[in-house]
Amino acid sequence: MKYVWLIVFFPFLGFLINGFFGRHFKREVVATIAACAIGLAFVCGIYTLFDLLKLPPHSRVVEVVYFDWIKAGKLSIPAGFLIDPLTMVMVLVVSGVSFLIHIYAGEYMEEDPGYVRFFVYLNLFVSMMLTLVMANNFLLMFVGWEGVGLCSYLLIGFWFEKDSASNAGKKAFIVNRVGDFGFLVGMFIIFSAFHTLNFREVFEKAPEMFTVGSTTITLATLCLFLGATGKSAQIPLYVWLPDAMEGPTPVSALIHAATMVTAGVYMMARCSVLYALAPFSLGVAGTIGALTAVFAASMALVQVDMKRVLAYSTISQIGYMVLGCGVGAFAAGIFHLMTHAFFKALLFLGAGSVSHALAGELDIRKMGGLYKKLPITHITFLSATLAISGIIPFAGFFSKDEILFETFIGHHYILYLLGIVGALMTAFYMFRLYFIAFHGESRVDPEVEKHIHEPSWRMALPLCVLGILSLIGGWIQLPFFHNLKILGGFLEPVFHHAHEIGGMEHGTEVGMWLEGALMALSLVVALMGICIAYNFYIKNPELPKRLAEKFVGLYTLLFNKYYIDELYQKIVVRPLYNLSLGLSYVVDQHIIDAAVNGTGKGMVYGSSLLRRVNTGYVQFYGLIMFIGAVVVLLVNIF
Amino acid sequence: MHELNFPILSLITFFPLVGIILIAFTEREDEYLQKWIAFWTTLINFIISLPLFFYFKDTAKFQFVEKINWIPSFGISYHVGIDGISLLLVLLTTFLCPICIAACWSDIKDKVKEFLICFLFLEVSMIGVFCALDMFLFYIFWELMLIPMFLLILVWGAPARRRYAAIKFFLYTMAGSMMMLVGILVLYFYNAKVTGEYTFDLLKLMKLDLPFHLQYWLFLAFGIAFAIKVPMFPFHTWLPDAHTEAPTVGSVILAGVLLKMGTYGFVRFNLTLFPNASVYFMQLMAILAIIGIIYGAFMCLVQKDLKRLIAYSSVSHLGFVMLGVFALNMQGLSGGLIQMINHGLSTGALFLLVGMIYERRHTRLIAEFGGLAKPLPMFATLFMIVTLSSIGLPGLNGFIGEFLIMVGAFRAKWWFGVLAATGVILAAWYMLWMYQRVMFGKVTKKENLNIKDLVPREISLLVPLIVFIVWIGVHPNTFLSKMEPSIKQIVLKYEKINKKQVDMAGINILKIIKGERS
């Protein structure tokens, strides 16, 4: 499988071609090159998948090493790729969804003067993301990890003339760097313990060298988890993601919903063996995940910007994935990652289609009744909304339910409860969004309303494909029937060791009735959320306003996102900046530099004193000689 | 591969003199010709220096050695040679010099002849410092280097404060050098006392087994000279002044090569001559280095002048280098050495870029800019790549150095590595914020509306730097493999040293000092 480098190479080639020569091409050519690059990567991915399937399930791990990247003493890092079922799932999801979004963006960005730059960044992003998921060692993964962060920075700040956009980009990069600090320290610990950063070697040695609950592994996994909270926007580092919506909508769909932000979940799944050895870290991860799921969902309840609602919902959904990993159900986490990529990309693309039709409007208060004018957008958006709310048989139902199910049978009842509350909120805020935007009276500016139109096939096709995937994407992992869990079976060899270590072989001894009951419960909860939303926004449109007035404190708190941004600004950013000002003025200028200049001045002053001794009068010198002689004599005598 | 049988190091060192002579015979007004002569001299010198890399054998031995008796009665010889530690620094010097000459094309307008002579003279002394294997010869080159640099700042600097900056630079460095001179003489006489041979030959002096108390004082004597040159916290305040007032070319060469003299000196002399003292001072040096990393980054946050900001970022980056060196293990030292090269490339490129907008706008104040990405797309792209290299983005050179350093530091003491890693966050903060304020947003000043993007000459200056920025990031082994044997030799020495004994010896010295006072 030497050829797998092509998967990363094609997008990179697209990046190079458009980067160097894109200015001279026509727009269609640029878009075609970019999309083809991703398409080829996807085809290579499929080919690799079939190659991998030829192998028996438990030997489906292929490591391809290309060259010695860094070598310094014991530290030797050969760069290469690791192909196993987990990688394959990620490669196909990333390249597949990217391909659709590239097609979509070809039309969406048509009017933009930065057209070439956009596709250059986007191709670079895909190649970095694929590096991240295919890397065979922590350091190469980190290259992808920071590489996608860079592209995210560049694309959030794509409209760099807008201050809000360039601020958001910078914020994203710096907050991510805080997470990367954790990732780095995690790598140091792992290298000190194992003298290697290669995934296979680390995961093979780990169970032999360390027992469950060892401090080293716990620290390492906690540090890595800090990295995950940065990239995957979990508490406490989620603050960058809502602002990231300043970027173009296809970017939000691809990077800030479907692929990059799930990198943290992928990383945890990749390190499942290490996490299994550190139950404490798993507990932390599960708790953070569940808390984030509810916390972010609560903020989504009252937002009025379509993309912001979706951003908070992304944070919340990733919370579920992290929860899944945290309770040891890595496969369920990856499953939700996959279905989420479909429906969340679709939701963003739908939002993009709406704003495309409404001349850039994203405020849901200025929409309404759109279902008549935008039938394709409406029906696909509905499909995704049903999926994310967890309505059978849409994709999100199966994946979210599996996470909740695993949480419950792992005896994490509080986390389960949080998950259920989150699910209720999810159904509510998604249908709130749907009802306000697509139903009811039209509140669209009449001038804009004249121009509302459905997009052409280039934007509609990705919507339809993702709409179908949002419906059927969950069917590869059906509950009850063990032999129908295709995805789980495919991924099983990857998580086998983790399950063995943690003794987390769930699902076998649990009765069917329990599984059924839990499923019914989540379904009921989701339907409840939808009913409330229906009541609030279709039947009694006055109700939300009255509630907001009644609970004005809570409403303001939610609307202002718990003032977390302001808090960080007050307790971290400002103090550090003021500290720098103080250090610069007091220490640098008035202590260190003053001491340096003071030494110089002291010398000058001292010499000016000494200079007076050189009077030039012979009598004076004679006097001094005489005094000296007397002193010498006196000293000698006594 | 067979060996080179001619004195290549002397050729490289003194070749710029040919240029000086040729320029000396030109008409004063013929500035164009003078610049071309200087450019070709430095470029040819770079080409001549390339065989060093290809003929270099991956061993720890000194290579391309030349030794001629110079003043035999004092045991002074002309002894030059390079090993894995100095090889890349010599090449960095010869590589940066033609770029600098090309950069001064439009920057330097008066006294061109003198300027070029000064610069070529500087190249001679810089290469000499890296090649010298005789302490006396080393000291001569070390001091020679000071004069042209002093003149560069004094004569061609920004008029406002150049006298202050030049004199500060000169005296500060000189003060350190004096300490080193005393150190060299002590070493010389001690060697004579023990072996009966008067010699300045570094290779012979390296064989000495110095008693701990002597190592202690000599480490300090040499260390202060080098720490000022690096510059390490708290000896850094001359650097922002020197950088801000120097012309673009001066800043590039100061950051690119001159600052490496200090770190090189630590590796070449302190680490090899005084191993026990190095172990004893390791913690102190590492802590100063870490303070430098974090403190330098904080200083960057509040700078208003682009050049001052980059100067303080150098303090931070060289803190990384020093931390790597004093991790005293393979990863740390390799990282430190490669980071010296990286810093020369990225910071050199940053100063070039700042020089380019300075030429257009005649200001370096961040507040005067804003929104430049719109009128200057090419500049924006190159500036972004260099900025990213400076903040250590994986895939570019800075990351390789910083990562190795941090791994090494973490292995030496875990909290070294953790503290150093916070510098990575701060670096992203100050650099991206600077970039944002200069390049992003709307163009607010109308002077910025019509500035022209880079011309091909300027692009071709930056492209070679960027090629190496990427090369080191993607395939650092090309360079790491050259230095590995030499570093291994140093590290092996340290594996034998008993940390506890050294600490005890150090405590005894402190007791003696206190005893004498009381």
CA distance B477 to chain A (A): 6
Nearest CA in chain B to A143: B394
pLDDT at B2 > cutoff 90 = no
CA distance B483 to chain A (A): 10
CA distance B120 to B13: 10
Lowest mean pLDDT among A399-403, A449-453, B195-199, B239-243: A449-453
Cβ–Cβ under 8 Å, residues B441 and A161: yes
Question: Considering only residues 420 to 439 of chain B, which have any Cβ-Cβ distance to chain A shorter than 8 Å?
Answer: 421-422, 424-425, 428-429, 432-433, 436, 439
Query: Residue range B185-197: average pLDDT?
Result: 92
Region of A328 on the Ramachandran plot (φ > 0 left; ψ -120 to 50 alpha; else beta): left
CA distance A491 to A594: 65
B171 lies within 8 A of chain A by CB:
yes
Is residue B281, in this structure, part of any structural domain at all? Answer: yes
pLDDT at B337 > cutoff 90 = yes
What pLDDT, in 10s, does the model give residues A342-357?
999 999 999 999 998 8
**What pLDDT does B366 receive?**
93
**What pLDDT does B516 receive?**
62
pLDDT at B397 > cutoff 90 = yes
pLDDT band with cut points at 50, 70 and 90 for residue B511? confident
Tokens of B3: 């060996």
Is residue B415, in this structure, part of any structural domain at all? Answer: yes
SS3 A590: helix
Question: Considering only residues 388 to 427 of chain B, which have any Cβ-Cβ distance to chain A shorter than 8 Å?
Answer: 388, 393-395, 399-400, 403-404, 406-407, 410-411, 414, 417-418, 421-422, 424-425
Is residue B483, in this structure, part of any structural domain at all? Answer: yes
φ/ψ of A213, rounded to 5, equals: 90, 10
3-state secondary structure B215-238: HHHHHHHHHHHHHHHCCCCCCCCH
Amino acid of residue A287: T
Q: Which of A360, A208, A237, A225 is nearest to A285 (CA)?
A: A225
B478 lies within 8 A of chain A by CB:
no
pLDDT at A609 > cutoff 90 = no
Cβ–Cβ under 8 Å, residues B45 and B123: yes
DSSP 8-class letter at A483: G
pLDDT band with cut points at 50, 70 and 90 for residue B1? very low
Could you tell me the residue range of the domain that residue B300 belongs to? 274-488
CA distance B476 to chain A (A): 6
**How many distinct structural domains can be found in chain B?**
1
pLDDT band with cut points at 50, 70 and 90 for residue B518? very low
ipTM of the complex: 0.91
Query: Residue range B18-45: average pLDDT?
Result: 93
Is residue B100, in this structure, part of any structural domain at all? Answer: no
Q: Which of B112, B119, B106, B117 is nearest to B461 (CA)?
A: B106
B149 lies within 8 A of chain A by CB:
no
What pLDDT, in 10s, does the model give residues B63-87?
999 999 999 999 999 999 999 999 9
**What pLDDT does A509 receive?**
59
Q: Which of B407, B402, B437, B409 is nearest to B423 (CA)?
A: B402
B237 lies within 8 A of chain A by CB:
yes
Task: Write out chain B residues lying below 8 Å of A75, CB-based.
Answer: 330-331, 404, 407
Angle, helices A395-409/A457-472, rounded to nearest 10 degrees = 40
Note every long-range contact of A622-625, with CB atoms under 8 Å and residues 24 or more positions apart, other chains counting. Answer: none
Inspect the interface and report whether the beta carbons of A71 and B477 lie closer than 8 Å.
yes
CA distance A95 to A131: 12
The C-alpha torsion from A588 through B301 and B336 to B92, rounded to 10°, is: -100
φ/ψ of B444, rounded to 5, equals: -100, -25
Task: Write out chain B residues lying below 8 Å of A145, CB-based.
Answer: 394
Q: Is the dihedral of CA B352, B358, B364, B369 positive or negative?
A: negative
CA distance A193 to B366: 45
Q: Tell me the pLDDT of chain A averaged across its residues.
A: 91
Task: Write out chain B residues lying below 8 Å of A68, CB-based.
Answer: 477
Lowest mean pLDDT among A44-53, A127-136, B119-128, B509-518: B509-518
Chains A & B: contacts with CB separation below 8 Å: 140
CA distance A25 to A604: 68
Task: Write out chain B residues lying below 8 Å of A187, CB-based.
Answer: 407
Q: Which residue has the tokens 């300490």?
A: B179
Task: Write out chain A residues lying below 8 Å of B330, CB-based.
Answer: 72-75
Q: Which residue has the tokens 């005067």?
A: B368
Task: Write out chain B residues lying below 8 Å of A577, CB-based.
Answer: 301-302
**What pLDDT does A600 receive?**
87
Count CB neighbours of B483 within 10 A.
23
**What pLDDT does B352 receive?**
95
**What pLDDT does A393 receive?**
87
Is residue B166, in this structure, part of any structural domain at all? Answer: no
Cβ–Cβ under 8 Å, residues B316 and B300: yes
Reported as type and span, the H/E element at residue B68 is strand B63-71
CA distance B382 to B469: 12
**What pLDDT does A636 receive?**
84
Task: Write out chain A residues lying below 8 Å of B232, CB-based.
Answer: none
Q: Tell me the pLDDT of chain B averaged across its residues.
A: 92
Nearest CA in chain A to B168: A597
Task: Write out chain B residues lying below 8 Å of A161, CB-based.
Answer: 371, 374, 440-442
C-alpha dist (Å) from residue A338 to A94, A403, A487: 9, 13, 10
| DSSP secondary structure of B368-418 | G---TTTT-HHHHHHHHHHHHHHTT-BTBHHHHHHHHHHHHHHHH-HHHHH
Is residue B389, in this structure, part of any structural domain at all? Answer: yes
pLDDT at A568 > cutoff 80 = yes
φ/ψ of A81, rounded to 5, equals: -120, 150
Is residue B292, in this structure, part of any structural domain at all? Answer: yes
The fraction of chain B above a pLDDT of 90, given in percent, is 79
pLDDT at B47 > cutoff 90 = yes
Reported as type and span, the H/E element at residue B48 is helix B31-55
Cβ–Cβ under 8 Å, residues B502 and B280: yes
CA distance B330 to B335: 8
Is residue B311, in this structure, part of any structural domain at all? Answer: yes
Of B400, B424, B425, the CB nearest to A70: B400
Q: Which of A144, A150, A118 is nearest to A129 (CA)?
A: A144
B295 lies within 8 A of chain A by CB:
yes
Inspect the interface and report whether the beta carbons of B425 and A191 lie closer than 8 Å.
no
CA distance B501 to B499: 6
Query: Residue range A581-602: average pLDDT?
Result: 90
pLDDT band with cut points at 50, 70 and 90 for residue A505? low
Alpha helices in A301-394 (DSSP H): 306-326, 330-357, 375-389
pLDDT at A548 > cutoff 90 = no
Inspect the interface and report whether the beta carbons of B301 and A188 lie closer than 8 Å.
no
CA angle B458, B462, B463 (to 5 degrees): 115
CA distance A312 to A558: 12
Task: Write out chain B residues lying below 8 Å of A73, CB-based.
Answer: 329-331, 334, 488, 491
CA distance A27 to chain B (A): 19
B242 lies within 8 A of chain A by CB:
no
The fraction of chain A above a pLDDT of 90, given in percent, is 65
CA distance B42 to A151: 38
pLDDT at B130 > cutoff 90 = yes
Query: Residue range A98-112: average pLDDT?
Result: 92
The fraction of chain B above a pLDDT of 70, given in percent, is 99
